[in-house]
Amino acid sequence: MKKLKFLIYLVLIIFVASCTKNFEDFNTDTKNPSDVPGETLFSNAQKALSDQRASTNVNLNVFKLWAQYWTETTYTDEANFNIVNRNIPDNNFSTYYRSILLNLKQAKYLIEKTEVIGDEAKKVQKNKLAIIDLITVFTYQELVDIFGNVPYTDALKIEETLSPKYDDGLAIYKDLITSATAAIGKLDASGESFGSADLYYGGDVALWKKFGNSLKLKLGLHLADVDNTLAKSTIESAFSGGVILTSDENCDMAYLGSSPNTNPIYEDLVLSGRQDFVAANTIVDIMNPLNDPRRGHYFGMKDGAFIGGTYGINSAFIDFSHAGDAIYEPTFASVFFSASELKFYLAEAAARGYSVGNTAENYYKDAIATSILEWGGNQADADTYLAQAEVAYNGADWKKSIGTQEWIAFYTRGLEGWTTWRRLDAPTFNISPDAQSPDGKTPTRFTYPVNEQTLNKTNYQQASTAIGGDVLNKKLFWDKN
């Protein structure tokens, strides 16, 4: 079975946010290193990462807005790119470093220091450590893709410094590829790993290997306009190692039906009774002319039609389509990698001339069909959709073809949707008259946390200078177009 349907044994740890104590001090018995097992900290990190990505709480996550999937009904600051009032960069930064990465670091320390006996036990331990490394790589990539240069080599070394330096984003990416490759090489599918403590794959090491190669392929693809040689070798190596290509291999976290273990969307918008978001006209107006079969799953109808609110402008909840019913379910899964996603990546890789086993057009068609099936459609729906001239793959403008359809497929996955738009410059986004970015357009990065400007001032200033200014419209190193 791909993964256990979520025996949550996780929310046991309130982890040490500002502790400056050396992790070694927690460990006085290598056979029983802590009252809190490393496996529990690992589960905690998994849930924190999943919650952060799924959340619609504008104090934490505004990417569904910035990808222009949703827009706001009453308070429109976040859709208009004001992320300072609610300290959104600070909250985001803190969640990634303290709730996710520090838990992963301590989990790795505890598991690594636990004495195990026998080849099988050593194999399990090695698999656990490699999986932790892969989630660590995944997390750092998201941080870089949000901010640009971030603390990396000095990060989490709280026993050494409380003022970590920022590393160059490209250098981090290259090291992440090295780390992912090393972790993949350590995974042994003949052994077990975390079992039920793994909230994504239920301890299935073979699937984690596919996760690792999928992650490596994604890292390589982001470098295609920066270092084509490295991108090509990384992608081809990942593809040959085996990536996620069927939906039963998807990496996601299935939530439970009752609090506190429901999808954050359910907590944010159902239990709270809030009506903060409606579908944005950006995505609705692209999908409607195509009669996209996913609309009924993505959105609810308003007066028998799918109607999006004008992006960035107050849009009354009762006047427009809101998210589809399934998205409000407490068990709605938080997705990390999907087969449709990897097929879009492979379509792009093929369009760039890399050797990935098929043509760009075939991967493109397969990606769209897989997305439709993943959202509850059928093959007939996919065939009808693909038969339209407006959907047909255009090799002369493959970035527009792939970028638009990939962006549609990423609905509910705001960070990925925003990143696709930044990388491939498709589709065309709407511009709100109330936009608060320097150029009035959708930002291309988060500004750094205000706390960093005061508590880590020297390193903040160096990082800001290195990227050409701490502003919303500064492009990241991989965003060359």
Q: Are the C-beta atoms of 79 and 432 separated by less than 8 Å?
A: yes
Hey, what amino acid is at 56? T
The stretches of 321-438 forming alpha helices (DSSP H) are: 339-351, 360-374, 379-386, 398-409, 414-424
Number of domains present in the structure of the chain: 1
**Token pair for 13:** 């740890």
Does the structure show a pLDDT above 80 at 405?
A: yes
pTM of the model: 0.93
pLDDT above 60 (res 147): yes
Average pLDDT over residues 276-283: 98
Residue 266 identity (one-letter amino acid): Y
Residue 36's pLDDT band, with cuts at 50, 70 and 90, is confident
315: CB partners within 8 A, 6+ apart? 71, 72, 73, 278, 309
Q: How confident is the model at residue 472 (pLDDT cuts 50, 70, 90)?
A: very high
Average pLDDT score over residue span 167-196:
98
180 near 219, Cβ under 8 Å? Answer: yes
* pLDDT over 90 percentage in the chain: 91
pLDDT reported for residue 75 = 93
Residue at 5 is within a domain: no
Full domain range(s) for residue 407: 37-251+331-467
Encoded tokens for 315:
């849009």
Of 11 and 159, the one with more pLDDT? 159
Is 259 within a domain?
no
| Cα 84 to Cα 76, 91, 221, 292, 458, distances in angstroms | 13, 11, 31, 36, 21
| Strands annotated E in 258-359 | 277-279, 334-337
The span from the CA of 187 to the CA of 180, in Å, is 11
The CA-based diameter of the chain, rounded to the nearest angstrom, is: 67
Burial of 419-439, coded b for 16+ CB within 10 Å and e otherwise, reads bbbbbbebbebbebeebbbee
Phi, psi of 124 (to 5 degrees): -60, -45
229: exposed, middle or buried (Cβ count in 10 Å: 0-12, 13-18, 19+): exposed
The mean per-residue pLDDT over the stretch 252-279 comes to: 95
**Tens digits of residue pLDDT in 259-269:** 889 999 999 99
Helices 414-424 and 398-409 pack at an angle, to 10 degrees, of 170
Residue 358 covered by a domain: yes
Query: Which whole number is the average pLDDT over 304-333?
Result: 97
Residue entry with tokens 């793959």: 393
Do 466 and 168 contact (CB within 8 A), yes or no?
Answer: yes
Distance of CA 341 to the CA centre of its chain: 12
Q: Is the pLDDT of residue 26 over 60?
A: no
The pLDDT tens digits for 119-131 are: 999 999 999 999 9
In angstroms, how far is CA 472 from the centroid of its own chain?
20
- Cis amide prior to 427 (ω within 30 degrees): yes
Asked whether residue 260 is assigned to any structural domain, the reply reads: no
Question: Measured between alpha carbons, how far is 302 from 36 in angstroms, rounded to an integer?
Answer: 50
SS3 287: helix
Per-residue model confidence (pLDDT) at position 46: 98
Instruction: Give the mean pLDDT of the chain.
Output: 93
Q: Write the DSSP assignment of 228-273 as a string of letters.
A: HHHHHHHHHHHHHH----SGGG-EEEPPPSSTTSS-HHHIIIIIT-
Residue with tokens 């918008």: 269
* 9 domain-assigned: no
Instruction: Report the alpha-carbon angle 257-262-266, nearest 5.
Output: 100
Hey, what are 64's tokens? 């569904």
3-state secondary structure of 338: coil
142 located within any domain: yes
Q: 88: domain CATH number?
A: 1.25.40.390
**What's the CA gap between 322 and 274, in Å, rounded?**
12
CA pair distance 93, 447, nearest whole angstrom? 11
Whole-angstrom Cα distance, residue 50 to residue 79? 22
Judged against a pLDDT cut of 90, whether residue 426 lies above it is answered with yes
- Of the two residues 330 and 7, the one the predictor is more confident about is 330
If pLDDT is split at 50, 70 and 90, which confidence band does 481 have? Answer: confident
Q: How far is CA 353 from CA 179, 233, 459, 478, in A?
A: 26, 12, 40, 19
Q: Is the pLDDT of residue 480 over 70?
A: yes
pLDDT given for residue 7 in this prediction: 38
Q: Are 18 and 108 in contact (CB under 8 A)?
A: no
Question: Is residue 85, in this structure, part of any structural domain at all?
Answer: yes
Q: For residue 40, what pLDDT is reported?
A: 97
Per-residue pLDDT, averaged over 351-377, amounts to 98
**143 found inside a domain:** yes
Strands 334-337, 251-253: pairing is antiparallel
